[in-house]
Protein backbone atom coordinates (compact mmCIF):
# COMPACT_ATOMS: atom_id res chain seq x y z
CA UNK A 1 0.00 0.00 0.00
CA UNK A 2 1.62 3.23 -1.20
CA UNK A 3 0.59 6.14 1.02
CA UNK A 4 0.99 9.58 -0.57
CA UNK A 5 -0.36 11.48 2.43
CA UNK A 6 -0.58 10.77 6.14
CA UNK A 7 -3.62 13.05 6.55
CA UNK A 8 -6.16 14.00 3.90
CA UNK A 9 -8.44 17.03 4.19
CA UNK A 10 -11.64 16.56 2.20
CA UNK A 11 -14.48 19.08 2.23
CA UNK A 12 -18.12 19.09 1.16
CA UNK A 13 -18.95 21.76 -1.41
CA UNK A 14 -22.68 21.11 -1.72
CA UNK A 15 -25.48 18.73 -0.78
CA UNK A 16 -27.61 19.49 -3.85
CA UNK A 17 -27.63 21.57 -7.01
CA UNK A 18 -28.65 24.85 -5.44
CA UNK A 19 -26.67 24.78 -2.20
CA UNK A 20 -24.96 27.72 -0.47
CA UNK A 21 -22.14 29.06 -2.66
CA UNK A 22 -20.77 31.30 0.09
CA UNK A 23 -20.19 28.32 2.39
CA UNK A 24 -18.43 26.46 -0.42
CA UNK A 25 -16.32 29.51 -1.24
CA UNK A 26 -15.23 29.81 2.40
CA UNK A 27 -14.09 26.19 2.46
CA UNK A 28 -12.16 26.63 -0.79
CA UNK A 29 -10.44 29.77 0.44
CA UNK A 30 -9.78 28.96 4.09
CA UNK A 31 -10.19 25.20 4.51
CA UNK A 32 -6.68 24.26 3.39
CA UNK A 33 -8.29 21.31 1.63
CA UNK A 34 -6.72 18.66 -0.53
CA UNK A 35 -10.07 17.92 -2.18
CA UNK A 36 -13.55 19.39 -2.29
CA UNK A 37 -16.48 17.27 -3.51
CA UNK A 38 -19.82 18.54 -4.77
CA UNK A 39 -22.91 16.36 -4.52
CA UNK A 40 -25.25 17.77 -7.17
CA UNK A 41 -27.24 14.87 -8.60
CA UNK A 42 -29.85 13.50 -6.23
CA UNK A 43 -32.65 11.24 -7.42
CA UNK A 44 -34.82 14.32 -7.85
CA UNK A 45 -32.06 16.09 -9.77
CA UNK A 46 -31.78 13.15 -12.18
CA UNK A 47 -35.42 13.60 -13.13
CA UNK A 48 -35.03 17.37 -13.41
CA UNK A 49 -31.96 16.94 -15.62
CA UNK A 50 -33.96 14.75 -17.95
CA UNK A 51 -36.74 17.35 -18.08
CA UNK A 52 -34.17 19.96 -19.05
CA UNK A 53 -32.80 17.66 -21.74
CA UNK A 54 -36.33 17.12 -23.06
CA UNK A 55 -36.77 20.89 -23.33
CA UNK A 56 -33.47 21.48 -25.14
CA UNK A 57 -31.68 22.83 -22.05
CA UNK A 58 -28.37 21.67 -20.53
CA UNK A 59 -28.81 18.17 -19.13
CA UNK A 60 -26.27 18.75 -16.36
CA UNK A 61 -26.16 20.79 -13.16
CA UNK A 62 -27.36 24.28 -14.11
CA UNK A 63 -25.54 25.72 -11.09
CA UNK A 64 -22.19 24.26 -12.15
CA UNK A 65 -20.84 27.52 -13.54
CA UNK A 66 -21.78 29.39 -10.37
CA UNK A 67 -20.09 26.74 -8.24
CA UNK A 68 -16.90 26.91 -10.28
CA UNK A 69 -16.76 30.70 -10.12
CA UNK A 70 -17.23 30.54 -6.35
CA UNK A 71 -14.49 28.01 -5.57
CA UNK A 72 -11.94 28.01 -8.40
CA UNK A 73 -9.90 30.99 -7.15
CA UNK A 74 -9.47 29.44 -3.72
CA UNK A 75 -8.95 25.92 -5.04
CA UNK A 76 -6.27 26.98 -7.54
CA UNK A 77 -4.45 29.01 -4.91
CA UNK A 78 -4.58 26.17 -2.40
CA UNK A 79 -3.99 23.34 -4.86
CA UNK A 80 -7.35 21.82 -3.98
CA UNK A 81 -8.73 19.31 -6.46
CA UNK A 82 -12.44 19.26 -7.30
CA UNK A 83 -14.84 16.35 -7.80
CA UNK A 84 -18.47 16.91 -8.81
CA UNK A 85 -21.25 14.58 -9.90
CA UNK A 86 -22.63 17.47 -11.95
CA UNK A 87 -22.74 15.67 -15.29
CA UNK A 88 -26.15 13.96 -15.07
CA UNK A 89 -27.11 13.11 -18.67
CA UNK A 90 -24.30 15.18 -20.23
CA UNK A 91 -20.96 14.90 -18.39
CA UNK A 92 -19.09 15.97 -21.52
CA UNK A 93 -21.11 19.18 -21.73
CA UNK A 94 -20.45 19.85 -18.05
CA UNK A 95 -16.72 19.28 -18.57
CA UNK A 96 -16.56 21.59 -21.59
CA UNK A 97 -18.35 24.29 -19.62
CA UNK A 98 -15.80 23.76 -16.85
CA UNK A 99 -12.95 24.32 -19.31
CA UNK A 100 -14.59 27.52 -20.58
CA UNK A 101 -14.98 28.90 -17.06
CA UNK A 102 -11.38 28.03 -16.17
CA UNK A 103 -10.11 29.86 -19.24
CA UNK A 104 -12.33 32.87 -18.63
CA UNK A 105 -11.02 33.14 -15.06
CA UNK A 106 -7.43 32.95 -16.31
CA UNK A 107 -6.65 29.47 -14.99
CA UNK A 108 -4.75 27.92 -17.87
CA UNK A 109 -3.51 24.35 -18.08
CA UNK A 110 -5.94 22.91 -15.53
CA UNK A 111 -6.66 19.27 -16.28
CA UNK A 112 -10.37 18.46 -16.47
CA UNK A 113 -11.52 14.83 -16.64
CA UNK A 114 -15.03 13.56 -17.16
CA UNK A 115 -16.44 10.07 -16.73
CA UNK A 116 -18.94 8.48 -19.10
CA UNK A 117 -20.74 5.17 -18.87
CA UNK A 118 -23.29 5.97 -16.18
CA UNK A 119 -26.05 6.39 -18.77
CA UNK A 120 -27.28 2.80 -19.05
CA UNK A 121 -30.64 3.48 -20.66
CA UNK A 122 -30.02 1.12 -23.58
CA UNK A 123 -28.58 -1.54 -21.27
CA UNK A 124 -31.69 -1.48 -19.07
CA UNK A 125 -33.92 -1.85 -22.11
CA UNK A 126 -31.77 -4.76 -23.29
CA UNK A 127 -31.53 -6.60 -19.96
CA UNK A 128 -35.10 -5.79 -18.88
CA UNK A 129 -34.35 -6.09 -15.13
CA UNK A 130 -36.97 -6.01 -12.40
CA UNK A 131 -37.96 -2.56 -11.13
CA UNK A 132 -37.47 -2.67 -7.38
CA UNK A 133 -40.46 -0.50 -6.50
CA UNK A 134 -42.99 -2.38 -8.66
CA UNK A 135 -41.64 -5.93 -8.85
CA UNK A 136 -42.26 -5.90 -12.60
CA UNK A 137 -39.82 -5.94 -15.53
CA UNK A 138 -38.63 -2.57 -16.80
CA UNK A 139 -40.31 -3.27 -20.13
CA UNK A 140 -43.69 -2.79 -18.46
CA UNK A 141 -42.84 0.92 -18.25
CA UNK A 142 -42.78 1.06 -22.05
CA UNK A 143 -42.18 4.50 -23.52
CA UNK A 144 -42.54 6.04 -20.06
CA UNK A 145 -38.99 4.86 -19.28
CA UNK A 146 -37.05 7.94 -20.31
CA UNK A 147 -33.56 7.28 -19.02
CA UNK A 148 -31.36 5.34 -16.61
CA UNK A 149 -28.24 6.41 -14.72
CA UNK A 150 -26.10 3.98 -12.74
CA UNK A 151 -24.63 4.75 -9.33
CA UNK A 152 -20.89 4.15 -9.49
CA UNK A 153 -17.68 5.02 -11.27
CA UNK A 154 -15.30 5.26 -8.32
CA UNK A 155 -12.58 3.34 -10.15
CA UNK A 156 -12.82 5.76 -13.08
CA UNK A 157 -12.51 8.68 -10.65
CA UNK A 158 -9.40 7.13 -9.13
CA UNK A 159 -8.01 6.65 -12.64
CA UNK A 160 -8.69 10.31 -13.43
CA UNK A 161 -6.91 11.46 -10.26
CA UNK A 162 -3.96 9.20 -10.98
CA UNK A 163 -3.69 10.85 -14.41
CA UNK A 164 -3.38 14.23 -12.71
CA UNK A 165 -6.89 15.63 -13.10
CA UNK A 166 -7.49 18.85 -11.20
CA UNK A 167 -11.25 18.62 -11.73
CA UNK A 168 -13.28 15.43 -12.19
CA UNK A 169 -16.87 15.53 -13.50
CA UNK A 170 -19.10 12.45 -13.22
CA UNK A 171 -22.77 11.64 -13.75
CA UNK A 172 -24.81 10.01 -10.99
CA UNK A 173 -21.80 8.62 -9.08
CA UNK A 174 -22.88 7.45 -5.66
CA UNK A 175 -22.73 10.40 -3.27
CA UNK A 176 -20.11 8.87 -0.99
CA UNK A 177 -17.91 7.65 -3.85
CA UNK A 178 -16.72 11.17 -4.64
CA UNK A 179 -15.16 11.31 -1.19
CA UNK A 180 -13.88 7.75 -1.33
CA UNK A 181 -11.98 8.12 -4.63
CA UNK A 182 -9.40 10.59 -3.24
CA UNK A 183 -8.80 8.30 -0.26
CA UNK A 184 -8.15 5.30 -2.50
CA UNK A 185 -5.83 7.42 -4.64
CA UNK A 186 -3.88 9.09 -1.83
CA UNK A 187 -3.71 6.18 0.61
CA UNK A 188 -3.25 3.41 -1.96
CA UNK A 189 -6.13 1.37 -0.59
CA UNK A 190 -6.80 -1.94 -2.33
CA UNK A 191 -10.27 -2.19 -3.81
CA UNK A 192 -10.97 -5.35 -1.80
CA UNK A 193 -9.83 -3.92 1.54
CA UNK A 194 -13.43 -3.90 2.63
CA UNK A 195 -12.94 -2.29 6.04
CA UNK A 196 -11.04 0.69 4.63
CA UNK A 197 -13.40 1.00 1.66
CA UNK A 198 -16.33 0.98 4.07
CA UNK A 199 -14.62 3.52 6.33
CA UNK A 200 -14.12 5.85 3.38
CA UNK A 201 -17.70 5.43 2.25
CA UNK A 202 -18.81 6.11 5.81
CA UNK A 203 -16.89 9.37 5.95
CA UNK A 204 -18.33 10.27 2.56
CA UNK A 205 -21.82 9.54 3.82
CA UNK A 206 -21.29 11.90 6.74
CA UNK A 207 -20.07 14.69 4.46
CA UNK A 208 -22.29 14.26 1.42
CA UNK A 209 -25.26 16.24 2.76
CA UNK A 210 -23.11 19.23 3.62
CA UNK A 211 -24.52 21.35 6.40
CA UNK A 212 -26.81 18.60 7.66
CA UNK A 213 -23.87 17.52 9.82
CA UNK A 214 -23.08 21.08 10.95
CA UNK A 215 -26.56 21.90 12.27
CA UNK A 216 -28.73 22.19 9.16
CA UNK A 217 -31.87 20.04 9.18
CA UNK A 218 -30.94 19.39 12.81
CA UNK A 219 -31.99 22.56 14.61
CA UNK A 220 -35.16 22.32 16.71
CA UNK A 221 -35.58 25.34 19.03
CA UNK A 222 -35.66 24.39 22.68
CA UNK A 223 -34.57 20.84 21.95
CA UNK A 224 -31.52 21.17 19.74
CA UNK A 225 -30.49 24.80 19.55
CA UNK A 226 -28.01 25.83 16.85
CA UNK A 227 -26.37 29.25 16.65
CA UNK A 228 -25.61 30.96 13.38
CA UNK A 229 -27.96 29.07 11.08
CA UNK A 230 -27.84 32.04 8.69
CA UNK A 231 -24.13 31.41 8.07
CA UNK A 232 -23.68 27.66 8.46
CA UNK A 233 -20.22 26.34 7.77
CA UNK A 234 -19.84 23.35 5.48
CA UNK A 235 -18.03 20.30 6.91
CA UNK A 236 -14.67 18.81 6.13
CA UNK A 237 -12.92 15.65 7.29
CA UNK A 238 -9.33 15.01 8.29
CA UNK A 239 -8.93 11.42 7.14
CA UNK A 240 -6.15 9.05 8.22
CA UNK A 241 -4.79 6.11 6.17
CA UNK A 242 -6.73 3.72 8.43
CA UNK A 243 -10.01 5.33 7.40
CA UNK A 244 -10.58 6.99 10.77
CA UNK A 245 -11.47 10.67 10.47
CA UNK A 246 -12.24 13.83 12.40
CA UNK A 247 -15.26 15.81 11.17
CA UNK A 248 -15.10 19.56 11.66
CA UNK A 249 -15.97 22.97 10.20
CA UNK A 250 -14.19 26.28 9.78
CA UNK A 251 -13.71 28.45 12.89
CA UNK A 252 -16.04 31.43 12.98
CA UNK A 253 -18.77 29.83 10.86
CA UNK A 254 -22.24 29.13 12.17
CA UNK A 255 -23.61 25.77 13.23
CA UNK A 256 -22.22 22.98 15.33
CA UNK A 257 -20.49 19.62 14.86
CA UNK A 258 -21.10 17.26 17.77
CA UNK A 259 -22.03 13.66 18.48
CA UNK A 260 -25.71 14.29 17.83
CA UNK A 261 -25.25 15.96 14.44
CA UNK A 262 -22.93 13.16 13.35
CA UNK A 263 -25.20 10.37 14.59
CA UNK A 264 -28.26 11.88 12.94
CA UNK A 265 -26.44 12.18 9.63
CA UNK A 266 -25.01 8.66 9.96
CA UNK A 267 -28.57 7.28 10.17
CA UNK A 268 -29.83 9.40 7.27
CA UNK A 269 -31.26 7.25 4.44
CA UNK A 270 -29.11 4.19 5.16
CA UNK A 271 -31.72 1.47 5.63
CA UNK A 272 -29.99 -1.46 7.35
CA UNK A 273 -27.08 0.03 9.37
CA UNK A 274 -25.23 -3.28 9.13
CA UNK A 275 -25.50 -3.42 5.35
CA UNK A 276 -25.49 0.00 3.69
CA UNK A 277 -24.89 -1.00 0.08
CA UNK A 278 -22.73 1.03 -2.29
CA UNK A 279 -21.12 0.15 -5.60
CA UNK A 280 -17.59 -0.07 -4.08
CA UNK A 281 -18.61 -2.12 -1.03
CA UNK A 282 -21.05 -2.60 1.82
CA UNK A 283 -20.80 -0.49 4.96
CA UNK A 284 -21.42 -1.83 8.46
CA UNK A 285 -22.10 1.11 10.77
CA UNK A 286 -22.87 -1.11 13.78
CA UNK A 287 -19.15 -1.10 14.61
CA UNK A 288 -18.68 2.66 14.18
CA UNK A 289 -17.75 4.82 17.15
CA UNK A 290 -18.38 8.56 17.31
CA UNK A 291 -16.93 10.79 20.03
CA UNK A 292 -16.24 14.46 20.49
CA UNK A 293 -12.53 15.26 20.69
CA UNK A 294 -12.76 19.05 20.86
CA UNK A 295 -15.05 21.98 20.05
CA UNK A 296 -16.72 21.20 16.70
CA UNK A 297 -14.44 18.18 16.27
CA UNK A 298 -15.85 14.65 16.20
CA UNK A 299 -13.77 11.53 15.65
CA UNK A 300 -15.34 8.71 13.63
CA UNK A 301 -13.65 5.32 13.52
CA UNK A 302 -14.17 1.57 13.69
CA UNK A 303 -16.43 1.27 10.64
CA UNK A 304 -16.18 -2.15 9.03
CA UNK A 305 -17.29 -3.48 5.68
CA UNK A 306 -18.28 -6.40 3.53
CA UNK A 307 -17.64 -7.25 -0.14
CA UNK A 308 -19.57 -5.32 -2.72
CA UNK A 309 -22.63 -6.89 -4.27
CA UNK A 310 -22.65 -8.22 -7.84
CA UNK A 311 -25.00 -5.51 -9.07
CA UNK A 312 -25.11 -1.74 -9.20
CA UNK A 313 -28.12 0.38 -8.39
CA UNK A 314 -29.61 2.28 -11.32
CA UNK A 315 -31.86 5.34 -11.16
CA UNK A 316 -34.75 5.10 -13.62
CA UNK A 317 -36.37 8.26 -14.95
CA UNK A 318 -40.04 7.57 -15.63
CA UNK A 319 -42.52 9.96 -17.28
CA UNK A 320 -45.94 9.94 -15.66
CA UNK A 321 -47.85 12.75 -17.31
CA UNK A 322 -48.35 16.15 -15.74
CA UNK A 323 -49.79 17.58 -12.56
CA UNK A 324 -51.73 20.79 -12.11
CA UNK A 325 -52.12 22.62 -8.83
CA UNK A 326 -54.35 25.45 -7.67
CA UNK A 327 -54.47 27.21 -4.30
CA UNK A 328 -56.94 29.52 -2.61
CA UNK A 329 -57.26 30.78 0.99
CA UNK A 330 -60.48 31.06 3.02
CA UNK A 331 -60.64 33.05 6.24
CA UNK A 332 -63.04 33.73 9.10
CA UNK A 333 -65.79 31.71 10.74
CA UNK A 334 -66.66 28.61 8.73
CA UNK A 335 -63.44 28.74 6.69
CA UNK A 336 -63.12 24.97 6.58
CA UNK A 337 -66.75 24.41 5.52
CA UNK A 338 -66.36 26.90 2.69
CA UNK A 339 -63.06 25.34 1.61
CA UNK A 340 -64.66 21.88 1.44
CA UNK A 341 -67.52 23.29 -0.63
CA UNK A 342 -64.95 24.81 -3.00
CA UNK A 343 -63.16 21.46 -3.23
CA UNK A 344 -66.41 19.70 -4.08
CA UNK A 345 -67.14 22.28 -6.77
CA UNK A 346 -63.71 22.02 -8.44
CA UNK A 347 -63.74 18.24 -8.17
CA UNK A 348 -67.03 18.01 -10.06
CA UNK A 349 -65.75 20.41 -12.72
CA UNK A 350 -62.58 18.39 -13.25
CA UNK A 351 -64.58 15.16 -13.44
CA UNK A 352 -67.44 16.35 -15.65
CA UNK A 353 -65.59 18.74 -17.96
CA UNK A 354 -62.13 17.14 -18.15
CA UNK A 355 -62.83 13.48 -17.44
CA UNK A 356 -60.46 13.33 -14.47
CA UNK A 357 -61.02 10.28 -12.27
CA UNK A 358 -61.48 10.94 -8.54
CA UNK A 359 -58.40 8.77 -7.89
CA UNK A 360 -56.31 11.28 -9.89
CA UNK A 361 -57.38 14.24 -7.74
CA UNK A 362 -56.24 15.34 -4.31
CA UNK A 363 -57.61 18.00 -1.98
CA UNK A 364 -55.50 19.20 0.95
CA UNK A 365 -56.47 21.68 3.62
CA UNK A 366 -53.30 23.43 4.73
CA UNK A 367 -53.43 23.98 8.48
CA UNK A 368 -55.87 21.13 9.03
CA UNK A 369 -54.78 17.87 7.40
CA UNK A 370 -52.21 18.44 4.62
CA UNK A 371 -49.54 16.49 6.54
CA UNK A 372 -51.63 14.64 9.14
CA UNK A 373 -55.11 14.80 10.57
CA UNK A 374 -54.26 16.70 13.73
CA UNK A 375 -57.62 16.02 15.34
CA UNK A 376 -58.60 19.68 15.37
CA UNK A 377 -62.16 20.95 15.44
CA UNK A 378 -62.57 22.21 11.86
CA UNK A 379 -65.22 24.71 12.93
CA UNK A 380 -62.66 26.37 15.22
CA UNK A 381 -60.27 27.13 12.38
CA UNK A 382 -60.22 30.68 11.05
CA UNK A 383 -57.77 30.29 8.17
CA UNK A 384 -57.55 27.45 5.64
CA UNK A 385 -55.64 27.11 2.39
CA UNK A 386 -57.25 24.74 -0.08
CA UNK A 387 -54.73 23.05 -2.35
CA UNK A 388 -56.12 21.17 -5.34
CA UNK A 389 -53.92 18.85 -7.41
CA UNK A 390 -54.79 16.56 -10.29
CA UNK A 391 -52.90 14.35 -12.72
CA UNK A 392 -53.25 14.57 -16.50
CA UNK A 393 -51.56 13.24 -19.61
CA UNK A 394 -50.24 16.63 -20.75
CA UNK A 395 -49.21 19.99 -19.33
CA UNK A 396 -51.85 21.75 -21.43
CA UNK A 397 -54.61 19.69 -19.80
CA UNK A 398 -53.12 20.21 -16.34
CA UNK A 399 -53.59 23.97 -16.65
CA UNK A 400 -57.31 23.44 -16.09
CA UNK A 401 -56.76 22.96 -12.35
CA UNK A 402 -55.39 26.45 -11.85
CA UNK A 403 -58.09 27.83 -14.15
CA UNK A 404 -60.96 26.34 -12.15
CA UNK A 405 -59.43 27.32 -8.80
CA UNK A 406 -58.79 30.89 -9.97
CA UNK A 407 -62.53 31.24 -10.68
CA UNK A 408 -63.49 30.46 -7.08
CA UNK A 409 -63.26 33.99 -5.66
CA UNK A 410 -66.08 35.01 -8.01
CA UNK A 411 -67.98 31.78 -8.66
CA UNK A 412 -67.41 29.82 -5.46
CA UNK A 413 -68.04 30.16 -1.72
CA UNK A 414 -67.67 33.48 0.08
CA UNK A 415 -64.58 34.71 1.86
CA UNK A 416 -61.85 33.65 -0.58
CA UNK A 417 -58.58 35.56 -0.78
CA UNK A 418 -57.73 36.11 -4.43
CA UNK A 419 -53.94 36.09 -4.41
CA UNK A 420 -51.45 37.14 -7.03
CA UNK A 421 -50.67 34.63 -9.82
CA UNK A 422 -47.54 33.47 -8.01
CA UNK A 423 -49.78 32.39 -5.11
CA UNK A 424 -52.24 30.43 -7.18
CA UNK A 425 -50.29 27.31 -8.19
CA UNK A 426 -49.01 26.02 -11.50
CA UNK A 427 -48.25 22.97 -13.61
CA UNK A 428 -45.29 20.67 -14.17
CA UNK A 429 -44.32 17.45 -15.85
CA UNK A 430 -44.42 14.44 -13.54
CA UNK A 431 -41.09 12.69 -13.91
CA UNK A 432 -40.67 10.16 -11.15
CA UNK A 433 -37.85 8.05 -9.80
CA UNK A 434 -37.67 4.27 -9.75
CA UNK A 435 -34.68 1.98 -9.42
CA UNK A 436 -33.31 -1.34 -10.60
CA UNK A 437 -30.10 -3.38 -10.50
CA UNK A 438 -27.68 -4.32 -13.28
CA UNK A 439 -24.41 -6.29 -13.13
CA UNK A 440 -21.32 -4.19 -12.46
CA UNK A 441 -19.43 -5.81 -15.31
CA UNK A 442 -22.00 -4.62 -17.86
CA UNK A 443 -21.33 -0.94 -17.11
CA UNK A 444 -18.51 0.55 -19.17
CA UNK A 445 -17.08 3.56 -17.32
CA UNK A 446 -14.51 5.55 -19.28
CA UNK A 447 -12.35 8.57 -18.47
CA UNK A 448 -11.89 11.44 -20.92
CA UNK A 449 -9.45 14.32 -20.56
CA UNK A 450 -9.57 18.02 -21.44
CA UNK A 451 -7.23 20.92 -20.63
CA UNK A 452 -8.18 24.51 -19.96
Domain ranges for the chain, please list them: 8-118+153-309, 316-434
pLDDT digits (tens, 9 = 90+) for 352-374: 999 999 999 999 999 888 888 87
Q: What residues contact 338, with CB distance under 8 A and at least 6 apart?
A: 330, 413, 414, 415, 416
302 to each of 194, 249, 355, how far by Cα in Å?
12, 22, 59
Query: Helix count (H) and strand count (E) of the chain?
Result: 12, 19
Q: Residue 312: its pLDDT value, please? A: 95
pLDDT of residue 310: 96
349-to-337, 390, 404 alpha-carbon distances in Å: 19, 12, 8
Q: What is the DSSP letter of 333?
A: T
In this prediction, residue 422 carries a pLDDT of: 64
According to CATH, the topology of domain 316-434 is Alpha-Beta Plaits (3.30.70)
Q: Name the stretches of the chain with pLDDT < 70.
A: 1, 419-424
pLDDT value at residue 69: 98
pTM: 0.92
Amino acid sequence: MTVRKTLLRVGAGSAHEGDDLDAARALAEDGNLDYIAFDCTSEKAVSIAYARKQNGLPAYDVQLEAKLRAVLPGCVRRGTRILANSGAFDPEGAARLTVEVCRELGFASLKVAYVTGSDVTDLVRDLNPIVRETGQPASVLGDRLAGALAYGGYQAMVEALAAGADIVITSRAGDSEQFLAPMIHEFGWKLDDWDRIASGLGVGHLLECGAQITGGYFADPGLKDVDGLHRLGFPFAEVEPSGAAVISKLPGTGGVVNELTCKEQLLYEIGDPAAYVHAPGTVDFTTTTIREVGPNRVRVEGTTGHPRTDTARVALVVKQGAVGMGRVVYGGTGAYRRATLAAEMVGRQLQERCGVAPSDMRFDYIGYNALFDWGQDPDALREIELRVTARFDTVAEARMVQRFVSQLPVNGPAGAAWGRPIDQGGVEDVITFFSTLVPHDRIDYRVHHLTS
